[in-house]
């Protein structure tokens, strides 16, 4: 079960202390502040101890007790019958698509949805499943009218529309439960199953301001299956879980094996995920606060339009004439790493980033833009 409030406070203090030590060590060693993604985190000493002490077995035979405990925990936490521990969010989403859909079937997703755009086209390549991408609205959601219009008629000329896939958070933005209820209800009215790419589900839950465990369960409850990552904001080194009905997870387990994802003594990894669920959920609010501090420190900066997401991401669009790749390179030379996209930079805050790191990042961006103005 989730920890008590007092235990959570103690956990948060421990994590904060570890992050401060990590940040201080990084600055002393000359390591850059790495805001490329929340996947770059390093296991804390406490998480490493949990991994070292994990009881293990052979998970392919179903007898790794720590993996079994994690699967039971995340399934119960999100309100599902069963769960499957997998190596990555990409594998989790792919197992879901292959389980929900067959060859010649179709899934609906957003143009910028991770499982459509950033996962190598796995469903089409390996499953013969056709994607039907839709444009996003400004808040990252899909227009319900577009969803309804995309559902194909029962006619041999068309792929069979089987599944609606949504993402929360999307581009760092938390999607409202009311929207999720509307969109998934519409999908069910059209006979579609529903899947949530909840890689950063707990960021969305924490952003609500309510109990994050209860909120995560509320969000997940709108879907037939949910993928959730442990290796992003939660800070585990590896792993995701796919949750759903017992029948669905049995099917997904078969696909995991086909995809080469059967892990053996995986309890050492599952222990890290269990530790993260116990100790790293509530503290996601720190990442959100650091992202807001960073965005606020740059909001009046000429030459850069700042777009906070409301969770742990900040996007920055350089003014015309400022080359994004060049700006990213110059930030890196000053000790600040970020992710570069065409015409945009992304900064992602995580448990290895302290307030001091955040303030330093603001200074680096301001100094670099000032240098740009004098070139």
In a shared domain, residues 114 and 243: yes
Task: Please state, in angstroms and rounded to a whole number, the distance separating the CA atoms of residues 34 and 346.
Answer: 11
Q: Is the peptide bond before 304 cis (omega within 30 degrees of 0)?
A: no
Check residue 371 and give its pLDDT.
Answer: 85
On whether both 249 and 269 belong to a single domain, the answer is yes
Contacts of residue 203, Cβ cutoff 8 Å, sequence gap at least 6: 169, 172, 174, 233, 284, 287, 288, 311, 312
- Contact call for residues 268 and 76 (beta carbons, < 8 A): no
- Tokens 């000790």 sit at which residue? 335
352 lies in the same domain as 306 = yes
Number of domains in the chain: 2
| Residue 343 shares a structural domain with residue 308 | yes
Which tokens belong to 352?
């290895």
Domain end marker among 259, 279, 299? 279
Distance CA 114, CA 93 (A): 9
CA quadruple 196, 200, 202, 204: dihedral sign: negative
pLDDT at 2: 42
Cα–Cα distance measured from residue 63 to residue 189, given in angstroms and rounded to the nearest whole number: 40
- Residue 239, sorted as left (phi over 0), alpha (psi -120 to 50) or beta, turns out to be left
CATH code of the domain containing 20: 3.90.1150.10
Sheet of 240-244, strand order: 82-86, 240-244, 225-229, 193-198, 160-167, 105-110, 130-134
Q: Count Cβ atoms below 10 Å from residue 296 Cβ, excluding itself.
A: 13
CATH number, domain with residue 182: 3.40.640.10
**Digits of tens for pLDDT over the chain (375 positions)?**
444 454 445 455 555 555 555 555 555 557 899 999 999 999 999 999 999 999 999 999 999 999 999 999 999 999 999 999 999 999 999 999 999 999 999 999 999 999 999 999 999 999 999 999 999 999 999 999 999 999 999 999 999 999 999 999 999 999 999 999 999 999 999 999 999 999 999 999 999 999 999 999 999 999 999 999 999 999 999 999 999 999 999 999 999 999 999 999 999 999 999 999 999 999 999 999 999 999 999 999 999 999 999 999 999 999 999 999 999 999 999 999 999 988 999 999 999 999 999 999 999 999 999 987 666
Q: Are residues 161 and 269 in the same domain?
A: yes
Q: How far is CA 13 from CA 225, 331, 349, in A?
A: 34, 31, 18
Q: Is the pTM of this model over 0.85?
A: yes
Gap between the terminal Cα atoms of the chain: 57
Asked which of 279, 314, 334 is the last residue of a domain, the reply is: 279
Looking at the structure, tell me whether residues 342 and 266 fall in a common domain. no
- The predicted structure's pLDDT at residue 191: 98
Burial annotation 121-144 (CB, 10 A radius, 16+ → b, else e): ebbeeebebbbbbbebeeebbbee
Residues 92 and 211 in one domain: yes
Domain that holds residue 286: 5-42+282-373
Task: Give the domain-ending residue among 279, 310, 328.
Answer: 279
Q: What is the spatial distance between Cα 132 and Cα 344, in angstroms, rounded to a whole number? A: 26
Closest of 107, 167, 171 to residue 138, by C-alpha: 171
Same domain, 224 and 93: yes
- Please check whether residues 267 and 256 belong to one and the same domain: yes
Instruction: State whether 330 and 218 are in the same domain.
Output: no
330 and 365 both lie in a single domain: yes
Q: What is the largest CA-CA distance in the chain?
A: 65
- Same domain assignment for residues 118 and 238: yes
């Amino acid at each position: 079960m989730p920890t008590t409030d007092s235990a959570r406070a103690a956990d948060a203090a421990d994590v904060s202390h570890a992050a401060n030590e990590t940040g201080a060590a990084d600055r002393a060693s000359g390591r850059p502040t790495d805001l490329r993604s929340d996947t770059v985190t390093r296991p804390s000493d406490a998480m490493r101890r949990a991994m070292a002490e994990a009881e293990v077995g052979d998970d392919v035979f179903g007898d790794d007790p720590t993996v079994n405990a994690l699967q039971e925990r995340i399934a119960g936490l999100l309100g599902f019958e069963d769960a499957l521990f997998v190596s990555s969010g990409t594998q989790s989403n792919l197992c879901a698509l292959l389980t929900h859909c067959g060859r010649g079937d179709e899934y609906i997703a957003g143009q910028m949805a991770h499982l459509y755009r950033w996962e190598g086209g796995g469903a089409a390549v390996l499953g013969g499943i056709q994607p039907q991408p839709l444009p996003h609205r400004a808040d990252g959601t899909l227009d319900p009218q577009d969803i309804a219009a995309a559902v194909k008629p029962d006619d041999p000329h068309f792929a069979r529309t089987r599944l609606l896939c949504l993402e929360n958070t999307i581009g760092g933005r938390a999607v409202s439960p009311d929207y999720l209820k509307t969109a998934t209800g519409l999908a069910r009215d059209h006979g579609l199953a529903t899947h949530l790419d909840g890689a950063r589900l707990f960021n969305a839950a924490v952003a609500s301001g309510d109990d994050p465990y209860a909120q995560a369960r509320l969000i997940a409850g709108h879907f037939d299956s949910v993928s959730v990552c442990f290796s992003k904001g939660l800070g585990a080194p590896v792993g995701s879980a796919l949750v759903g009905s017992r029948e669905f997870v049995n099917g997904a387990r078969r696909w995991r094996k086909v995809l080469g994802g059967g892990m053996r003594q995986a309890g050492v990894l599952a222990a890290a995920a269990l530790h993260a669920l116990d100790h790293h959920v509530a503290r996601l609010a720190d990442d959100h606060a650091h992202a807001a501090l960073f965005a606020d420190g740059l909001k009046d900066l000429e030459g850069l339009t700042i777009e906070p997401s409301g969770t742990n991401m900040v996007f920055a669009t350089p003014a015309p004439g400022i080359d994004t790749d060049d700006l990213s390179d110059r930030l890196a030379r000053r000790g600040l790493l970020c992710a570069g996209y065409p015409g945009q930079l992304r900064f992602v805050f995580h448990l290895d980033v302290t307030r001091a790191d955040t303030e330093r990042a603001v200074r680096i961006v301001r100094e670099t833009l000032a240098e740009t103005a004098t070139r």
